[in-house]
Structure 1
């Protein structure tokens, strides 16, 4: 999921356009993109769309961002959106393990009520200092958790921190990436609010890719192509990965441990990374050998 495009749940006229986009994932948003006075309306419209089979044939991963556990909308949101075709529920602002477990329990109940057979995952937004400190624990709170998502705007603005300060951005992203790694889930990058600054979006996406993030959030369709390009394995990376895997096969046959590929020592962690690159290339229909 190189790119994840936000779609306001209050604007059903955008649903079909989003499904026709090049984004790898779509996030139908009941939280920030919906005015408080329109929450119930947006929920009803999205639920009707999901029940109508509007997602039939969708190639994207389908995500719904609900309202936080501390809001009066939380329970109704989960009951409404736990529908067939939804892959992941995006939980904003979890502050404790109990928040995550409550979401998981509510999802299980809603799945049973709505006849959903495939378990729906949870993507946790890490948007507050307490959540960053507890990120690994939050990710391990339920087997439903599939990833942690960075929320830099929500994290920085209340603290008076500059959203574009490179040192702060990298330090925060590093902390989240390590927490995701500890919990064995993926890390997903934040939104970038300056839609006109394509170069800035690309630079932040490239940083996220170097840090092992899965992809980047898009708040506008113009950002999708950039994210897809940045998080695509390059031809050089694919070629090197193929060399590593070939060398690994030869080393296994000969009983060697570490060995050298293109002048660099290679052992098990490098082979695992090469396998990931080749698998990603195949998933994108890129030549992978």
Structure 2
């Protein structure tokens, strides 16, 4: 099972004074932004700062490092890759994706720069779903290439131009479910988008729980205070972990007896429930190996 990101903390690439603080946080992943958070006249400066951080990463650093590049159509994409592709980069966050062809184009570009940099481990792609077309093509995007490690919602770009209220529960549920099912088709995780109101932690928690109930693996954080909330919400509850382990133990006993379906706590268990139980235990073991 791939490493999941309960919390992914955004860091503007033009703010290197924040890098060390972000790296010391409890976030599962850092997401350095070269796109929207960086003014046009500071793109090159941000690129250099992020590249320097990546090259200085410790080899035993377990935090996942993501960089959101500029889009394929920006004219800056390959300039970004030239600087950021190296052993310090785990995931490329590709914005404004609208087709599987764009994923394949990005994958080919990554392969070229990996060859130049001597990188053998393929860099993953986290695809942003943040346009109406991207939402419609989400399954094609998710299944376009084996580098795709997940889909992430970008609410501002998706909702604001359409005049959709960011707090509308029906809109949020519709988009989340569409993205989650598209990601499920490719058997990759889905990640919920940012909530920009730092002063409302209770609403951030509500959004985490809503996304979790739809099978999301984590949520973006725009401020360090959101990190512990996301980590807590997207971690399986102790009772869920205990039950999942009992289901898997019962499955072993049933298999030894040649039984396909069996009962745990009065509930019939078959393969779909085993898939869920295995996933819960895997998440628990990733974040709490003991």
Q: If the TM-score is normalised by the length of the shorter chain, which range does it land in?
A: over 0.9
* Equivalent position of 1:280 in the other structure: 283
* Equivalent position of 1:134 in the other structure: 137
Please state how far the C-alpha of 1:272 moved relative to its aligned partner.
Answer: 1.6
**What are the equivalent positions in structure 2 for 1:135-150 lying under 5 Å apart?**
135-150=138-153
Does the 8 Å CA contact 1:79/1:107 hold for their aligned counterparts? Answer: no
RMSD of equivalent CA atoms = 1.2
Does the 8 Å CA contact 2:217/2:234 hold for their aligned counterparts? Answer: yes
Give the SS at the match of 2:72: coil
**What are the equivalent positions in structure 2 for 1:220-231 lying under 5 Å apart?**
220-231=223-234
Q: Structure 2 CA distance, aligned partners of 1:183 and 1:241?
A: 24
Of the candidates 195, 207, 211, which is equivalent to residue 198 of structure 2?
Answer: 195
Is 1:162 aligned with 2:165? yes
Please state how far the C-alpha of 1:286 moved relative to its aligned partner.
Answer: 5.8
Q: Number of residues paired by the alignment?
A: 286
Q: Structure 2 CA distance, aligned partners of 1:96 and 1:257?
A: 40
Please state how far the C-alpha of 1:49 moved relative to its aligned partner.
Answer: 2.4
Does the 8 Å CA contact 1:65/1:90 hold for their aligned counterparts? Answer: yes
Q: 1:119 to 1:162 in 2, by over 3 A?
A: same
Does the 8 Å CA contact 1:19/1:58 hold for their aligned counterparts? Answer: no
* Equivalent position of 2:241 in the other structure: 238
* Equivalent position of 1:26 in the other structure: 30
147-156 or 92-101: bigger deviation? 92-101
The Cα offsets for residues 71-125 of structure 1, whole Å up to 9 and x where unpaired, read as 0211101121111121100000012222211111110111111121211010000
The Cα offsets for residues 154-184 of structure 1, whole Å up to 9 and x where unpaired, read as 1110000000001110011000111111122
* Equivalent position of 1:263 in the other structure: 266
Give the SS at the match of 1:70: helix
Give the SS at the match of 2:120: coil
Give 5+ residue unaligned stretches, structure 1: none
